Structure formats: C-alpha cells, structure tokens
Amino acid sequence: MTILDDLFVRLRAEKKKAFIPFVTAGDPSLEMTGKILQRLDSLGCSIAEVGVPYSDPIADGPVIQASYTRALGKGIKLKEIFETVKKVQPTVKMPLLTMLSYAVVFRQGPANFVKLAKEAGFCGAIIPDLLVEESDELSEICRGEDFNLIQLVTPTTPRERAVRIAQRSSGFIYFVSVTGITGERQQLPANLLEQVRWLRERTDLPICIGFGISQPEHVRMLGPVADGLIVGSALVRRIAESVAAGEQAVLTGVDELVSGLLKTLQEVS
C-alpha cells in the first residue's frame, strides 16, 4: 500500500472525494510555490500536483504554457524544484505528485529520477507523454520503490488500450475530461459520465478527472462519479492575475477559488 492507496481507502471510508490542485513550480517563484502548497494543504486539499516547467508543451493550454515560460525565464532547474519540495513536504499533510515530461525523466535516468523524486518528498509522478507501450521499465521501477506512476486516459482512448493503461498505472487513473489541451471550459462533454462509469467497472484504481474543471457546476456534474477532481488552469490563472498585487493577494486568490470548489465537492460527496 502506497501513500496514495492509503489516502483513497480513507477517503472512501469517509465518503469523501479527493480535491487535487495543480501548481507550476517556480511561478511566480519557488518561494511562493512553497507557500502556495502550504496554503492548499491548510485549506484541506487531498493531494497537490507540482508541474515541472518544460519548453515543449505536451497537452498544456495557454495558461499553463505561459506559467512554464515565466518559470523557465527565471532559470528554474529540476534540482531547485526538488530542493524546494524537500523543504515544504514535511510541513504539509497532503501527498505531493510531480507532473512532467518523460524527456526530463529520461535525462535523469528512470531509476535515478525516481530516487531523487522520492528523496525530495514526492510520492508519485504524472507523465502525460509516456506511452503505455513504452512504460514497462518505469512502471516496474516505480512499483519496486512504492512510487506511484499515474497515467492518463482520454475520451478518445480506445477501450482496450484504456484497460492496458489502467493495468500499468498505480495510485489513481487520471481521466482527461475533454479532447485537446488543458484549460478552463464552460461545458464538459455530455458522454463523459458514461465513459468514467465504463472504466470504473474494469479497474479497482480510483479515477480522478482533470482538464477544464473550473466551476462549481463542473464539480456538481463530476463529483458523484469521480474519486477526485483535478483543478489546474483555473488556479494557475488566478495566481498569475494576483501576482502584481503582492504575496497576500496571491494567497487570497488561492483561498477564494479553492474554498468555493472544495465546498461544492463536499456537498456532492
């Protein structure tokens, strides 16, 4: 049982759903990334994703792309991200995941990357561009180190392939709610609920839904069928909009967005 396994067992016993925010490491600064993670933890978030900036977008929409560009413009390095997380992780209760391109993992070497990520305080990784056909080596390394490898299923993933992805994943399955890139949406696909229910019948892993979730209406729609909801672009945008007004404004913006969505998720759990 990994940290994430234990978390979802507890949440299910308490009839609760996971709320999972995403933040970009180093935007607006690594120091603020640490403070934002601490604030998210104090608000009651279940897990947090920390995005490692990368120059070539994978499935990132303009909001997250822009945040990556700002962070890279400051010269942010993987080592510095790990050092920041290592300082913050003992001060928060929620597990921390890293979200990054496989190119970063490859450069470090898969086994070495997992070692460094664990030492930093991460309990798993989300790697959107890792094909299931090429995931055997990293999947085995992660299982041997009790380090979760979370992989993505999209609305267009063939059903046979979705089952294979579930078999190679651990911790939870990241179900992408829409076809395309990350970003806030006014509406989510009508057949999304049916797709999630289909996959749930074929895996024991928790299913967490992300991409496009930004409004209470989305939470009310998806909360009943998901084990957790992931909010990225809406939070990254709120942080970016608040930076000019100072640190307290950033944290207040985080409070306002996350508290409202968390309250709605609790109501539908």
Active site positions, annotated = 49, 60
What is the Cβ-side half-sphere exposure of residue 161, based on CA atoms within 13 angstroms?
Answer: 11
Provide the residue type at 178 as one letter: V
SS3 content of the chain, % helix, strand, coil (to 5): 55, 15, 35
Name the burial class of residue 161, with classes exposed (0-12), middle (13-18) and buried (19+) by CB atoms within 10 angstroms of its CB.
middle
Beta carbons of 84 and 34 less than 8 angstroms apart = yes
- If one counts every other C-beta atom within 10 angstroms of the C-beta of residue 96, the result is 21
Contact 63, 236 (CB under 8 A): yes
Q: Residue 124, Cα to own-chain centre: how many angstroms?
A: 10
Q: Any idea what DSSP says for residue 27?
A: S
Which H/E stretch holds residue 211? none
Distance CA 268, CA 229 (A): 12
Contact 175, 151 (CB under 8 A): no
- Cis peptide bond prior to 28, omega within 30° of 0: yes
3-state secondary structure of 236: helix
Is the CB of residue 15 less than 8 Å from the CB of residue 59? no
